[in-house]
Amino acid sequence: MVQHHLTAEVDAVVKQQVAMARLGVGECGTGWQLFAEDGEMRMYRREQEVDGMVVDPLKAVHTVKGITGHEVCHYFFSPQYRYDWETTLEHMNVVETISEDTLVFYQLHKRIWPASQRDVVFWSHIRHLPNDQDRDGPHIWTVVNQSTEHPEYPGCSGKTVRIYLTVCLLCQTIVNPPKDGAPISRNDISCKITYCSVVNPGGWAPASVLRAVYKREYPKFLKRFTAYVINQSKNKPIMF
């Protein structure tokens, strides 16, 4: 099978991002500050600037009952559901289908006053990995999104500012089998979610504006997305 020119990059970035996501916030060195908490959800960020621009890495951990890692990654990766949960989207389209588990997206996000409107081109890859703690346990599922270039979407349209991002959603399914040997139901499962994101906002935007936007948007996004997966999955057979 002829390899796509991105195949090697996808494999390298996915491996690197999964390794990073697996590190707890304690282990990846100090500097992680908790900035939002809601029930089981904890959101951390590190204050980081690149060429005077705020690119604060974000790491969120969350545990959600009644859904699996496969289901969380399925709804995060698949384009047909995106408008349902990504409220900051003005337009999205699949630019290229590299394979059934690797797509290239274009996304135009709603303008966030006073900054100019942003857009992004990224490849998105979904993969499951053997669970190295529990050999016969459910696999770990991940989706990695990484900015990329695409000839049809040069980053200099003038009207919008091109952003750059690396995102890793890593999901571990926890099963507590019922004592009486009954079949596993949604009451017996939960999903440990780690969401890592680094967004370079492209053109300059005031640090105070960016930090306020991230502080507001990320918790909203993760709560809304996980609620969406619960609602979509509740009356369907469990996807392990």
Cβ closest to ligand 9ML, residue 195 vs residue 238: 195
For residue 215, the Cα-to-chain-centroid distance in whole angstroms is: 16
Task: Decide: is 86 part of the binding site for ligand 9ML (CB under 6 A).
Answer: yes
For residue 104, the Cα-to-chain-centroid distance in whole angstroms is: 15
C-alpha 182/C-alpha 58 separation (Å) is 40
At 174, list the tokens.
């926890």
Cβ closest to ligand 9ML, residue 25 vs residue 167: 167
Judged by CB under 6 A, the residue of 171, 205, 229, 238 near ligand 9ML is: 205
Judged by CB under 6 A, the residue of 10, 163, 189, 193 near ligand 9ML is: 163
C-alpha 66/C-alpha 230 separation (Å) is 7
Task: Decide: is 213 part of the binding site for ligand 9ML (CB under 6 A).
Answer: yes
At 216, list the tokens.
């507001």
Contact yes or no for 191/67 (Cβ under 8 A): yes
Q: How far, CA to CA in Å, does 137 sit from each of 108, 132, 188? A: 39, 9, 14
Under rule CB under 6 A, how many of the chain's residues touch ligand 9ML? 22
Task: Decide: is 112 part of the binding site for ligand 9ML (CB under 6 A).
Answer: yes
End-to-end CA distance of the chain: 29
The number of residues in the chain equals 240
Nearest to 192 by CA among 23, 33, 40: 40
Judged by CB under 6 A, the residue of 126, 210, 229, 238 near ligand 9ML is: 210
Judged by CB under 6 A, the residue of 17, 145, 148, 194 near ligand 9ML is: 145
Judged by CB under 6 A, the residue of 20, 108, 129, 165 near ligand 9ML is: 165
Task: Decide: is 217 part of the binding site for ligand 9ML (CB under 6 A).
Answer: yes
Cβ closest to ligand 9ML, residue 140 vs residue 167: 167
Task: Decide: is 108 part of the binding site for ligand 9ML (CB under 6 A).
Answer: no
Cβ closest to ligand 9ML, residue 35 vs residue 221: 221
Burial of 192 (0-12, 13-18, 19+ CB in 10 A): middle
Footprint of ligand 9ML on this chain (CB under 6 A)?
A: 86, 88, 107, 109, 112, 115, 118, 120, 145, 163, 165, 167, 197, 199, 201, 205, 210, 213-214, 217-218, 221
